[in-house]
Chain A
Amino acid sequence: MSERLNTPQVPKTAIWNDPTFRAIAIQVLASIAIIWFFWTIFDNTLTNMSSRGITTGFGFLNNTAGFGILMSLIDYDETYTYGRTFYVGLLNTLLVSFLAIVCATVIGFIIGVARLSKNWLISKMAAVYVESIRNVPLLLQIFFWNFAVIQPLLPSPKQSFALADMFFLNNRGAYLPKPHFDDRIWLVVIAIFAAIVAIVYVTKWARRRQESTGQPFHTFWAGLGILLGLPLATYFLSGVQVTVDYPALQGFNMRGGTEVIPELLSLTLALATYTASFIAEIVRAGIQGVSYGQTEAARALGLRHAYTLRLVVIPQAMRIIIPPLTGQYLNLMKNSSLATAIGYPDLVGVFMGTTLNQTGQAVEIVGMTMAVYLAISLIISAFMNWWNKHMALVER
């Protein structure tokens, strides 16, 4: 009897069948293989570089670059260093990404809503836009806008398209008036930040009041008022001196003003229209993802059409839209590297192109460039994950 009560004897397994041992063994072997792989690459690279006479390290960043860059947001000329070319390229990348993201969002939301329109013609036109743009390679569209539209169709500086003798558009680019402010402009900048902070607090206050008393508050109009009013008031009260530098034709070219090079125009156009076609689909899916019962429920509560959209449909649609929208923004930022194909001086074109060709420091330069893109991607996606968690439906 006592034998039966004993726990059954587990037959002793061979050590290579023991799950814990196997897990450890596999991971140790994998680590060794990975380390060996990277060590081989590292070793080969060092050997190859020394045999080609390339010095390693980031010292080259302090050498004088000696080449000019078409467009720069910060002071730059031939006498600056290679390190400076990195920042010039990075800022140009960020600039075109920012412009294109703003335009793509606006176009994408309009097209996405148009595609859901009850008007047959409008929804079909939106569908044709989406299907024709997103099935054609982006590089081709960049070439198309740059070499087939912007460059041949724009006139020479002498026959510029002009608007009120202030804005000019010709094949050298677009020229805008350039305002120069004196030091007191900082007050206006501070006022803008103060306005943003004030709006955040007004929004919070309005929400608390609505939750406790049920009285709605026109947050949007109040916010717009603060955002425009506060800086404008500061501007007039502080008496900032503004001098405007107007562009004008001198000889064969334009002088003065702010110059926007044609490559930036075509790149922004191509990136914005291409990404907009994807954003339109995301917006459509987001709005369709809110079930019609929600709209009916809002109507049953007696909400008017505009309130139904603003308080019920859009907040729920945004929850679906935001994550893939972030993905599209990241794609756009990475796609802006195609700039190098038309000669817009972005990070890849300037740093991984010219600087790499001049210095031959392939490993350092490619590594730095990739690290920048990787860092921006990771930061934005980490932020968006946090935000998404913040916005996600709390289910019980």
Chain B
Amino acid sequence: MNEFKPLPNLPPPVATAGVIGWLRANLFPSPFSALLTVLGIYFLYITLVPFLDWAVFSADWFGTDKSACISGGACWAFVTSRIDFFIYGFFPTSEVWRINICFALFVISFAPQFFDAFPYKKNLGIFSLTVFPAISYVLISGGWFGLVEVSTEKWGGLSLTLMLAYVGIVAALPFGVVLALGRRSQLPVIRTFCILFIEWWRGVPLISVLFMSSVMLPLFLPEGMNFDKLLRALIGIIMFQSAYMAEVVRGGLQAIPRGQHEAADALGLGYWKSMLLVILPQALKLVIPGIVNTFIALFKDTTLVLIIGLFEVLASVEAVVRGAQWRGLTFEGYVFVGLCFWVFCFGMSRYSQKLERKLNTGHKR
């Protein structure tokens, strides 16, 4: 008897598997597509290659002024020599440790949020929204506990950018929640006022809000009372941001099924108790990705404060590349600032997308 012996399996056709198969399916499926691929490769060749050469391979990295840059590529020496200025602005060098402690606290209070197994996420979240800003304010402004007072004119650079964005979002959150509740209220006076407030701030550009807070706010206040420039800008940012925050929170409130309201009513909870104990915890959980997205938008928008004369990171880089020592390095300067913002914003947007997938627990109607 001949034993049945199957032949060994043939390999899949070269044209549909492996590298060649992938290339055929994804880069050259049709003549038109192949043409696009060739054009794309050519485009990358004429843009990316010179750019990489300029930015990395023939760049100068160290030096004390522009004469150190001789190789013809990018001149990154101004970044490495002035990095302290870009991060801390005019903050006195001897006091910089105070900002560093705040950075460290920030990392400590946010890093555990990325680990699913960490048990005290909620408490830590409350800490980073309430206690952390208070500690940071005391540390950075000084004047207490024997710390030297540092006036707000000396704050600047990336630390000021982060501060503006963080304070803006943290302070706007409670206002936003109240406004969102007001907009869905049954009381016509409250509802109308909230709608007017929200639509007004959402309808005007941030820059006009900043102008308003810097030139008009002093007129609104009683005589003799005045705020410093940073606080005025912050008030404008918070008002502006709370309107956007209100719309984000409203989205969350609308996503909560009616049954939850009715259940809270059936338990005999009053308005505030049903909101605080039943509705808001669910709604706010749903809108965390939205809040992160608003934060990204605000973070990018903080650059506008340079127009009213605050010294955030873009302004500090501008000051350096327009100064005598590093004159004319605008291209490098903007690429550097762009990279700083890109790292933060891209990271946060990835985080919010991940959260969105995780929180999408079938609540959506």
- Which residues of B pack against A, CB within 8 Å? 26-27, 29, 33, 36-37, 40-41, 43-44, 186-190, 193, 199-200, 202-208, 211-212, 215-216, 218-223, 296, 300-301, 303-304, 306-307, 314, 318, 330-331, 333-334, 337-338, 341-342, 345-346, 349
Contact = CB atoms under 8 A, between A and B. Distances in A.
A228 interface: no
A131 B346 contact: yes
B50 to A, nearest CB: 14
Contacts of A51: 223
A348 B212 CA distance: 11
B334 A26 contact: no
Nearest to B337: A140
A230 interface: no
Interface stretch (A173-181, A301-309, A361-369): A361-369
A136 interface: yes
Nearest to B322: A147
Contacts of B318: 143
A118 B25 CA distance: 9
A377 interface: yes
Given A51-B223, A334-B205, A148 B216 contact: no
A24 B203 CA distance: 30
A122 to B, nearest CB: 5
A374 B203 contact: yes
- Which secondary structure dominates where chain A touches chain B? helix
Contacts of A337: 205, 207-208
Nearest to B182: A30
B66 to A, nearest CB: 15
B102 to A, nearest CB: 23
Contacts of B221: 44, 48
A122 B40 contact: yes
Interface residues of A, number: 53
A363 B187 CA distance: 32
Contacts of A143: 314, 318, 330, 334
6 contacts: A27-B190, A48-B218, A125-B44, A348-B207, A356-B211, A373-B205
A238 B199 CA distance: 50
5 tightest A-B contacts by CB?
Answer: A135-B345, A120-B26, A334-B205, A377-B203, A137-B300
A338 B215 contact: no
B215 A362 contact: yes
Contact of B26 (A118, A348, A369): A118
A314 to B, nearest CB: 20
Q: Which of B33, B36, B207, B341 has the most CB of A within 10 A?
A: B207
Given A23-B187, A41-B220, A135-B346, A140 B338 contact: yes
Contacts of A62: none
A224 interface: no
Contacts of A30: 187, 189-190, 193
B303 A140 contact: yes
A79 interface: no
A138 B300 contact: yes
Given A51-B223, A139-B303, A148-B334, A366 B216 contact: yes
